[in-house]
Amino acid sequence: MSVLRRDPITGRWVVFADAPPPVLAADGPCPFCAGNEQLTPPEIARWPRSDRRHDRPGWSVRVVPNARPLLRIEAPLERTADRIYDTVSGTGAHEIVIETPEHRRSLAELPREQVALALAAWAARMEDLKRDKRFRAIFVFKNQGVLAGAGVPGHVHSQIIGLPVTPKALKEILQGARAHYQLKERCAFCDILQEELDAGVRVVQESARFVAIAPYASRHPYECWILPREHRADFEAAAADERDDLAALLPTLLGRLERVLPEPDYNLFLYSGPNRQARPAKWSTLEADFHWHIQVLPRLLHETGFELGSGFFANTVTPEQAAAALRAVT
């Protein structure tokens, strides 16, 4: 059984997994392709929605448990003192969203309707998992390419993890946004959105409902954020027409990245509000002070000791240069 341990100085959590991640034979059959459904654990959900034909072809988007989960939903939640240290049981969800039945590398290759189904799957799974009060936050992310930590390269998918503690990186964003709100009575992300639309030089792409920017303090070359124009704390609370707009913008944005950086490895992070059902008092002001968004982080180089050890990043491409290059291609 996995267990979470807390670093006593920094509050950083580490999952000690009970099984190493699977090593898939590069020449074996792809477990995410239609027809190979028996190579994954039993299906959790599929789109188009159906109660029949589970684990058989006929799906456009399919959600399955991770075959080697970091956390397990059946583990009872226990918070334990281990002498001077703190541990939490490895209780959580670890799911895979297979975003197309065809063997495609990237969301950028998929039609808008297919991406819309993938986003519907993200929203539905987040909504469902937030009903479980053991989960403090649900984190959706994507590892594309080996440098980004991908385990199953070559077939586009995302991962959804439900966590019994709020992840440190999300907590920093939540706390930073709250501090900004408390000082100014304005949402930090709404301020960034307005500043970027005014300045223009870091805007990569706009749609009716979203703005994609190269953020002011981009960690890596060509980092992009997608900010919804409408202030809202939770991705899963967005209406279907907002998701449809994103389903057009997201593959276009990734397509720009793939034109500027051939076959780029990148991570995608979806930062949505933490689970208020788990801690209502702690997040009582969240509707005002947090603004869901997506971050896309290209991984061109290995993080150095300077970056990992100091928390600084060193970048050689300014977001103004990155935005200009990304705007120039389609």
Q: Under rule CB under 8 A, which residues in 181-200 are in contact with a second copy?
A: 188-189, 191-192, 195, 199
φ, ψ at 256 (rounded to 5°): -60, -45
User: What mask of x and - would describe binding to a second copy in positions 277 to 306, judged by CB under 8 A?
Assistant: ------------------x-x-x-xxxxxx
Instruction: Closer to a second copy by CB, 51 or 263: give it.
Output: 263
Under DSSP, the state recorded for 109 is: G
Instruction: Kindly state the smallest distance separating residue 46's Cβ from a second copy, in Å.
Output: 24
Instruction: Kindly state the smallest distance separating residue 74's Cβ from a second copy, in Å.
Output: 19
Instruction: Kindly state the smallest distance separating residue 314's Cβ from a second copy, in Å.
Output: 5
By CB under 8 A, name the one of 55, 141, 154, 260 that touches a second copy: 141
> Left if phi > 0, otherwise alpha if psi is -120 to 50, otherwise beta: which for 285?
alpha
- Beta-carbon contacts of 318 under 8 Å, excluding residues fewer than 6 positions away, are 218
- With contact defined as beta carbons under 8 Å apart, do 108 and 26 qualify? no
By CB under 8 A, name the one of 161, 204, 253, 257 that touches a second copy: 161
Binding residues with a second copy: total (CB under 8 A): 76
By CB under 8 A, name the one of 104, 219, 231, 327 that touches a second copy: 219
By CB under 8 A, name the one of 1, 169, 208, 240 that touches a second copy: 169
H or E segment to which residue 46 belongs = strand 45-47
Taking CB under 8 A as the binding criterion, the range among 30-38, 57-65, 141-149, 238-246 that sits at the site for a second copy is 141-149
φ, ψ at 195 (rounded to 5°): -60, -45
Taking CB under 8 A as the binding criterion, the range among 40-48, 101-109, 121-129, 159-167 that sits at the site for a second copy is 159-167
Provide the β-strand partners of residue 213: 203, 225
312 binds a second copy (CB under 8 A): yes
Instruction: Kindly state the smallest distance separating residue 18's Cβ from a second copy, in Å.
Output: 9
Under DSSP, the state recorded for 108 is: G
Instruction: Closer to a second copy by CB, 62 or 291: give it.
Output: 291
- CA–CA distance, 273 with 150 (Å, rounded to integer): 25
Of 59-88, binders to a second copy (CB under 8 A) are 70, 82-85
Instruction: Kindly state the smallest distance separating residue 295's Cβ from a second copy, in Å.
Output: 7
- Beta-carbon contacts of 9 under 8 Å, excluding residues fewer than 6 positions away, are none
- CA–CA distance, 329 with 257 (Å, rounded to integer): 9
CA-to-CA dists, residue 29 to 25, 96, 150, 265, angstroms: 8, 17, 17, 22
Structure tokens at 292: 């869901």
Q: Looking at the chain, how many residues does it have?
A: 330
By CB under 8 A, name the one of 80, 113, 146, 284 that touches a second copy: 146
326 binds a second copy (CB under 8 A): no
Structure tokens at 328: 């120039």
By CB under 8 A, name the one of 96, 110, 116, 170 that touches a second copy: 170
By CB under 8 A, name the one of 42, 80, 133, 172 that touches a second copy: 172
CA-to-CA dists, residue 278 to 134, 140, 284, 285, 323, angstroms: 6, 18, 12, 15, 39
